[in-house]
Amino acid sequence: MSLPTRVRIVEVGPRDGLQNEASVSTSDKIELINQLAAAGHSYIESGAFVSPKWVPQMADSAEVFAGIDRQANVTYAALTPNLKGYESAKLANVSEVAIFGAASEAFSQKNINCSIAESLARFEPVMAAAKRDGIKVRGYVSCVVGCPYQGEVAPSEVARVAKALLDMGCYEISLGDTIGVGTPKTVMAMLDAVSAVVPVEKLAVHFHDTYGQALSNIYVALNRGISVIDSAVAGLGGCPYAAGASGNVATEDVVYLLNGLDISHGVDLNALAAAGRFITDKLGKQPSSKVGLALQAKCSTT
Amino acid sequence: MSLPTRVRIVEVGPRDGLQNEASVSTSDKIELINQLAAAGHSYIESGAFVSPKWVPQMADSAEVFAGIDRQANVTYAALTPNLKGYESAKLANVSEVAIFGAASEAFSQKNINCSIAESLARFEPVMAAAKRDGIKVRGYVSCVVGCPYQGEVAPSEVARVAKALLDMGCYEISLGDTIGVGTPKTVMAMLDAVSAVVPVEKLAVHFHDTYGQALSNIYVALNRGISVIDSAVAGLGGCPYAAGASGNVATEDVVYLLNGLDISHGVDLNALAAAGRFITDKLGKQPSSKVGLALQAKCSTT
């Protein structure tokens, strides 16, 4: 086993996190994104151009992108589920866009009422437009180790969808354990299947911490050579299938792990934790990050 | 890397957990221990015979031991820091006792005002009495990867104290990351040093989840051949050096990991989580277990 020497953290708190939290003001979102950039983040998923009926928390993404204090070395990305969303994202001057497919047929049918193949076909116009505009597209695969409707998901299915997104033109594929049920065994099997068809340097992992397994799974992924990790400051977000459960793995906890492994990442832990306290104060909750809580408690032992 | 096929979980919630929580009634402690045994636990650290001035939460340990509904296949252990405590524990008919030493000189001096060597010498009368009485003694080493006072702790120091406890007659040595600062790198270095002088089958790991790293560290320990894991239902406890930070790694989260790795352990997750809800209800708090929270939210996806 050998670990990467450097990891790129994809901060998804302002999008995947906040879309599963109570609404916060546009100015607070802008302040959060600015604080995350100041903490050293080089990639911040900052919004989504989706139907406000579907995700009301993201209805102000255009205003958010207009308001952030852009840093030259930071990628500000947005989720764009269709061409309309893509065009709005382009108008908002996003750095990159992201699309998504499920690895579970049941999830695809229940969530967006079409097959996986149909859902991917619907992204073709987005891919074509992004290619025309020279805008990079990141691909998400959801339910990579489990599905709330069908249970287990075969690693071969994940590999198939990941390869399809790659072939469509996505420069990076983020493998999402949407409901947080993975453990090192299932995650290793999934990563082995996917990396057989997608180069490992094009893979990212995206773990939710519903069952507290995210960091162990990230450790396994690092040992498999993956060097891009999605996470959300303060563990923002939640599980739409379990109100009260944990959301995305907390960036603070990921950073603590990486620091312990001597893997560089460019993020300042104290500034990051301060950003986490800022947004959780606005949400009226505690950070869902053990590191965040420990630093908040001024456990000055490290 | 090969994983053990079976793990023994040492449930420390009623002792290491509750001694760092608000007081709960004797009858609630008894009910908790009975629920933990019913959930399948084979080893429950159920109390401590210590000065009530030092640890008021454990002042009723004799009553707890008198009240529990003893199961033949369950070990009910107690912490005994000195001969007086040992004699009280023996009167309470404990199954086993435990003693402890720090791997950090600074911690030993600050906490019990003597050197590590002096602290171990003070246990000699306990060891002699236990040997006479045929009572097994478990040994804890604290601060195995970090100390709140001196910072880093050398793996060689941990190995020295672990070996000393073994040589004194302890049948098992539990390696405690008291302040939860370990990550896989420091934990592996420590385990390698200790297992060079203590057979790995006599080692247990005891992680606190202050910085969310406990499960990753347990995964590393499993891969090093360790098959005894200390944990506390609902993540009971806390960090005396950081009010509000997390305590012991939650048994529910450990069980979820072990289930995912196909490692048997004998504990029923739902019954365990119910015991966690029982005691956290009494404490007026949420379980500090992501699995506990997810099951509470009825995320019936696994």
Which residue among B184, B244, B289 places its CB closest to the CB of A261?
B184
Which residue among B181, B244, B260 places its CB closest to the CB of A301?
B181
In the structure, what pLDDT confidence band is assigned to residue B298 with cuts at 50, 70 and 90?
Answer: low
Gap between the Cα atoms of B160 and B162, Å rounded? 6
Using the predicted structure, report yes or no on whether residue B76 has a pLDDT greater than 50.
Answer: yes
Tell me if B3 is assigned to some domain: no
Using the predicted structure, report yes or no on whether residue A263 has a pLDDT greater than 90.
Answer: yes
Taking only the tens place, the pLDDT of each residue in A91-100 is 999 999 999 9
In the structure, what pLDDT confidence band is assigned to residue A2 with cuts at 50, 70 and 90?
Answer: confident
- pLDDT of A87 reads 98
Q: Quick one: CA dihedral A179, A182, A188, A193, positive or negative?
A: negative
- A residues 256-295 closer than 8 Å to B (CB): 256-257, 259-262, 289-291, 293-294
Tell me if B72 is assigned to some domain: yes
Do residues B121 and B161 touch, judged by C-beta distance below 8 A? no
Tell me if A89 is assigned to some domain: yes
Query: How far is residue B188 CA from its own chain's centroid?
Result: 19
Using the predicted structure, report yes or no on whether residue A302 has a pLDDT greater than 50.
Answer: no
Tally of domains in chain A: 1
Token pair of A121, please? 């076909």
In the structure, what pLDDT confidence band is assigned to residue B1 with cuts at 50, 70 and 90?
Answer: low
Helix%, strand%, coil% for chain A, nearest 5: 45, 20, 35
CB atoms within 10 A of CB A3: 17
CA distance B269 to chain A (A): 12
Residue A37: give the domain boundaries. 8-300
- B residues 31-70 closer than 8 Å to A (CB): none
Burial class of residue A167 in the structure, from the number of CB atoms within 10 Å of its CB (0-12 exposed, 13-18 middle, 19+ buried)? exposed
Angle between helices A124-133 and A83-91 (to 10 degrees): 30
Instruction: Decide if A134 touches B, using CB distance below 8 A.
Output: no
Which residue among B219, B291, B301 places its CB closest to the CB of A219?
B219
Taking only the tens place, the pLDDT of each residue in B133-190 is 999 999 999 999 999 999 999 999 999 999 999 999 999 999 999 999 999 999 999 9
Do residues B99 and B123 touch, judged by C-beta distance below 8 A? yes
Q: Which of A149, A145, A231 is nearest to A193 (CA)?
A: A145
DSSP-derived 3-state class of residue A287: coil
Using the predicted structure, report yes or no on whether residue B10 has a pLDDT greater than 90.
Answer: yes
Q: Which residues of A touch B285 (CB under 8 A)?
A: none
Do residues A205 and A214 touch, judged by C-beta distance below 8 A? no
Residues of B annotated as catalytic are 239
Tell me if B192 is assigned to some domain: yes
State which residue of chain A sits closest to B153, comparing Cα positions.
Answer: A302
Interface predicted TM-score (ipTM) over 0.90: yes
Q: pLDDT > 70: what percent of chain A?
A: 98
Token pair of A102, please? 């499920």
Gap between the Cα atoms of A233 and A252, Å rounded? 6
CB contact under 8 A, B297 and A244: yes
Out of B72-86, B149-163, B228-242, least confident range: B228-242
- pLDDT of A112 reads 85
Taking only the tens place, the pLDDT of each residue in A163-212 is 999 999 999 999 999 999 999 999 999 999 999 999 999 999 999 999 99
Q: Chain-wide mean pLDDT for chain B? A: 95
CB contact under 8 A, B302 and A261: no
Active site residue A239: yes
Tell me if A253 is assigned to some domain: yes
CA distance A236 to chain B (A): 14
CA distance A213 to chain B (A): 7
Instruction: Decide if A177 touches B, using CB distance below 8 A.
Output: no
Q: What is the mean pLDDT of residues A123-138?
A: 97
- pLDDT of B245 reads 78
Taking only the tens place, the pLDDT of each residue in A235-261 is 999 877 777 778 999 999 999 999 999
Q: Which residues of A touch B262 (CB under 8 A)?
A: 185
Token pair of B143, please? 């601060």
Taking only the tens place, the pLDDT of each residue in A274-286 is 999 999 999 999 9
Tell me if B291 is assigned to some domain: yes
- B residues 214-253 closer than 8 Å to A (CB): 215-216, 218-220, 239, 241-246, 250, 253
Taking only the tens place, the pLDDT of each residue in B190-222 is 999 999 999 999 999 999 999 999 999 999 999
**Which residue, chain included where needed, has tokens 């599963």?**
A20
- pLDDT of A301 reads 40
Using the predicted structure, report yes or no on whether residue B301 has a pLDDT greater than 70.
Answer: no
**Which residue, chain included where needed, has tokens 């995210």?**
A214
- In sequence order, what are the residues at sequence separation of 6 or more whose Cβ sits closer than 8 angstroms to the Cβ of residue A41? A9, A11, A74, A266, A267, A272
Instruction: Decide if A148 touches B, using CB distance below 8 A.
Output: yes
* CATH code at position B138: 3.20.20.70
Do residues A208 and A249 touch, judged by C-beta distance below 8 A? yes
CB contact under 8 A, A184 and B290: no
Q: Which residues of B touch A144 (CB under 8 A)?
A: none
- pLDDT of A242 reads 73
Using the predicted structure, report yes or no on whether residue A124 has a pLDDT greater than 90.
Answer: yes
Q: Which of A275, A291, A250, A224 is nearest to A2 (CA)?
A: A224
Which residue among B186, B220, B293 places its CB closest to the CB of A246?
B293
